[in-house]
Chains A and B, each alone.
Chain A
Amino acid sequence: MEDVHRYDVPGTWPTWCPGCGNFGIWNAMKSAYASIDLAPHKTAIVCGIGCSGNLSYWINTYVLHSLHGRSVPVAQGVKLANRDLTVIVHAGDGDTYGEGLGHLLHAARRNIDITVFVHDNQVYGLTTGQPSPTSFKGTKWKVDPEGVVASPVTPLPLALLAGATFVGRGFSGENKHLSDLMTKAIQHKGFSLVDIGQPCVTFNHVNTWKWWNEHVYTLDETEHDRSNFELALKKAQEAGDKLPIGVLYEADKPTFDEEYSSLNAEPLSHAPIDDIDVDKLMARHL
């Protein structure tokens, strides 16, 4: 039997609000780890700052709980230094699509083999309810009484166009589906983005559990050709009434470390450095 409890941090329990979508993501994450039997010391999770990032406290792996918006660069650094590690980002929509949107697109175009899970609750929770980059146009908030003027960021098409080789959407309320999706994303070789619908029961009164349950539908994986970029782009742009969950796109392309020759040898983190010769460099300046 898969042991999900080996990823628990003994003596702790999450501080998320009762009913928070983060619980589903947390459970699915542990199940995904268990399904591939990944030893906790062989993976590193890099978290952003927000309710999503707090997941780092309740999962027993190596963790770098980094900065708001910067988890994607940090994770790339971890992976480049040690390509043997499974490197996963957990960050929020404000994190990833606000402060860190540029980083996300550049990580996608590098196709560095990391997996980014975005807990997309369309709101800033820890700061008590401001609209986020994915909040719908026209939705009203206490800091936006006339309604959000800007259109929402569309992370999935953006990631596809930037070069991500795995793009999917999950929903915290479809736990088995989410866990399977996470497993596929982790096992994918290359840059993966999974946007995860996550109701915030305290501050988001638009995108509630009810709203999500009414709007998501599961992609039929026998019908949808996930290798078809054009089709994936079309599916990724579906918005409003129906939102597909599942793997929208997957492509097998060389990763950054496969193409960058210094990274082809043993991991940088474990290369011997005790006796490096620089005499030949000095000779070139004589």
Chain B
Amino acid sequence: MSNSELNWKIGGEAGYGIMTVGEIFSKAFIKGGYYVVAHTEYPSLIRGGHNTFQVRIAAQQIRAPTQPVDVLVALNAETITLDLDDLVPGGLLLYDAANSDVAPAREDITLCDVPLAQLMADLHLPKVAINMAAMGASVGLIGYELSLLNAAIEDAFGGKGEKIVEQNVGAAKAGYEYVARAYPEPYKGGLPPVEGPPRMTLTGNDAICMGALKAGMKFIAIYPMTPTHTIMTYMAAHAREYGVAMIQPEDEIAGINLAVGASFAGARSMVATSGGGFSLMVEGLGLAGATENPLVVVEGQRPGPSTGLATRTAQGDLRFCLHASQGDFFRVVLAPGDPEECFYETFRAFNLADALQTPVLVLTDKHLATSFFATEPFNTDGLRVDRGLLLEEGKVPPDFKRYETTPTGVSARTVPGTEGGVFNANSDEHDESGYFSEDAPVVATSVDKRCRKYFTAAASLDGIKLHGNLSSSTVLVGWGSAKGAILDAMDFLRAKDGFDLGFLQVLFMSPFPSQPVKERLEGNQVILIENNRGAQLGSLIKEHAQIRPNHTILRYDGRAFNADELYNRIKEVL
């Protein structure tokens, strides 16, 4: 009999390639038909900090991490000290006893001593290669296919040449073969590959990049900041291939203003940052709002205030994103919950920015931005680029007024270079032509124009997704990356306890889907789930739908919800 689910965790010192290992190990299992959710926890240090990568593997669909782990790989003694409690009774500890001064103090687990360092020394490989040997040994212990690990290693190192691939594959093989001799019985009968469609090993940031490139984004300014820095890595690798200019500005203030300029000139433009960088961007956001320039802003949240926890996760910037900038103008704020939504919603964000001529914020967080999820390839057939009311050369009417009052709040736009379309994109309050005005009726008309876009957007957007039992009188409510843990907790509740609950996912925070939210929640038991202290979505629901949640489940310690933890917390209030 074989297993269908396994939780694997590796820990080691920063600098030992834990991040690379996480991606390779995830991909090895995704190639074998499994669903995978893999997340990393690490402190904000380059070297010497304790890094972990946890990979949850299952034949059935999974979307969030769980505890405990079945196999713990300790590349250093600190992992034994810090993570041993994560092991399930009966679980395996893979470690190198000769290089560990900490004795594993548990008797209910199986110790798998593998001389990783000695194996690498025998092969004349650098010590850092123990991470590959540990993956090979893990595959052996778990009872999986070494060839699939090799394929993932080749994908990762192929660009660095055959020799590097050979060395890493050789290191993995050494670990695998040692275990085949010393611990031949696979954990719980083995975990052989299963049938499944091809899936991508993808982070939220990867998906955002693909969505942006598909949407024709041509300009991105990005100042490095965790957790959106990997957007920079991705774009750097593909910018030239896609004819994109990626600028690393001197600061986020310059970044957003560069992007506003590029958008004004006609290029689809984006910035990506986290809360601290977004704080610096706020005035530029208002500039885009006042001048009605399309712009996409990706805000990958991490815990604040201030520097907070640079490498951890949170959903604490929702209110900030909704209200950033002085004065009244409409912006779209949307919050994808998984890589698939990251892709499609980022694509849509560019169309919305053009259609509404205003900033669109895509709100993610470290957990979604940097964790790996098994994701089926996106269907791009139905995706159409729509630039909205952008006047082409020769189509500019003789009485063109850039900021003409319209029922939708959106007016036709030209870009520099277009004959007859000259106008002033004015951050000062202005009349229909863009000329500054302090005339009271003109001011009120202009403010109304920009705010009217809220209703234009609301009319065309659904803003929610309903999951699970649509007629359940108990409804879970959440947003963003908490989606995964909520859906997995619902699976547990269904399988273990027979509870078949509903889940209302709020996708658009602005315009807020007041009516659909009200319709689903009114008269029902509402359980609000958020990764912040202030229950920020809860406050929006009170404001827009006049509904108070019956129960509130919050987590704000810098970590994402585990599905099993959430299952227990929901059960407590049911």
Contacts and interface: CB of A to CB of B under 8 A. Distances in A.
Contact of B261 (A46, A270, A274, A278): A46
Interface string A243-286: 00000000000000000111101011111011010110110111
Interface string B488-499: 000000000000
Contacts of A81: 218-219, 245, 261-267, 269
Interface in B198-236: 198-202, 206, 210, 213-216, 218-219, 221
Interface stretch (A63-71, A145-153, A214-222): A63-71
B257 A282 contact: no
A78 B219 contact: no
B425 interface: yes
B346 to A, nearest CB: 11
B262 A64 contact: no
Contacts of B257: 66-67, 70, 73-74, 77
A40 B199 CA distance: 52
Contacts of A49: 427
Given A67-B283, A85-B417, A286 B200 contact: yes
A77 B377 contact: no
A80 interface: yes
B538 interface: no
Interface string B238-249: 111011111101
Contact of A61 (B267, B422, B426): B422
A43 B421 CA distance: 12
Contact of B417 (A70, A73, A84, A263): A84
A44 interface: yes
A222 B272 CA distance: 50
Interface residues of B, number: 70
A77 B435 contact: no
Interface size class of A (residues with CB under 8 A): 35 or more
A286 B200 CA distance: 4
B406 to A, nearest CB: 21
A270 B260 CA distance: 16
B436 interface: yes
A78 B262 CA distance: 5
A85 B434 CA distance: 21
Given A73-B257, A286-B377, A80 B210 contact: no
B322 interface: no
B243 A65 contact: no
B302 interface: no
B254 to A, nearest CB: 4
A75 interface: yes
B515 interface: no
Nearest to A283: B377
A163 to B, nearest CB: 13
Contact of A78 (B214, B255, B416, B426): B416
B373 to A, nearest CB: 11
A141 B503 CA distance: 64
Given A74-B257, A78-B416, A279-B380, A41 B385 contact: no
A57 interface: yes
Contacts of B528: none
Contacts of A279: 377, 380
9 contacts: A63-B434, A70-B253, A76-B261, A77-B263, A263-B245, A268-B244, A278-B380, A282-B210, A285-B206
**5 shortest interchain CB distances as A-B pairs:** A273-B216, A77-B261, A269-B266, A285-B200, A81-B265
